[in-house]
Amino acid sequence: MPSEQDIIDQASKLGELIADHDAAKQLASATKAFEADVNSQRAMADYQRFAQGLQQKAQSGGAIEVEDKRKMEELQQAVITNPLLANMQRAEMDYLDLLRKVDTAIVGAGGAVAPSAAQGPPPAGSPILGG
């Protein structure tokens, strides 16, 4: 029977393998490019801030005006057409896909306790991805 330390050692090796995978390297590269580009950061921040404001406005019963919709569409276009943001999104999706496959392999190998066998409330989603 493997010890807890054996399992942790193997998990560390798995982490090294994942970090060395193309998906992880592409995500790191895309994130670095995004962090170095003020225009991309501004486009994303403006979009997120405006979207949050609209959501709060809607939740408080405020009307979403035509001008609000036009501004939201304009900000969405700025995000959608930004090549660095598109590249980062693709890289994130590829990386998450890799992690889902790893998670599925672990669960399939009996590496996770099934919710019905767990003590207390069932775990929320993936043991690795936390969701």
CATH number of the domain where residue 54 is located: 1.20.1500
For 46-55, the CB contacts below 8 A with 24+ separation are: 46/75, 46/78, 47/75, 47/76, 47/78, 47/79, 50/75, 51/75
What pLDDT is attached to residue 115? 54
pLDDT band at 110 (very low <50, low <70, confident <90, very high): confident
More confident call, 130 vs 99: 99
> Is position 65 within any domain?
yes
> Is position 69 within any domain?
yes
Is 129's pLDDT higher than 60? no
Task: Report the pLDDT averaged over residues 59-63.
Answer: 91
| Burial category of 34 from C-beta neighbours within 10 Å (exposed 0-12, middle 13-18, buried 19 and up) | middle
> Is position 82 within any domain?
yes
Q: What is the pLDDT of residues 81-101, one digit of tens each?
A: 999 999 999 999 999 999 999
Name the residue among 73, 82, 69, 70 with its Cα closest to residue 43. Answer: 82
> Is position 61 within any domain?
yes
- The pTM for the full model equals 0.70
Q: What is the residue range of 47's domain?
A: 14-106
Name the domain count of the chain: 1
Distance between CA atoms of 97 and 125, rounded to whole angstroms? 15
> Is position 2 within any domain?
no
What pLDDT is attached to residue 109? 83
Is 40's pLDDT higher than 80? yes
Give the dihedral sign, CA 117/123/124/128: negative
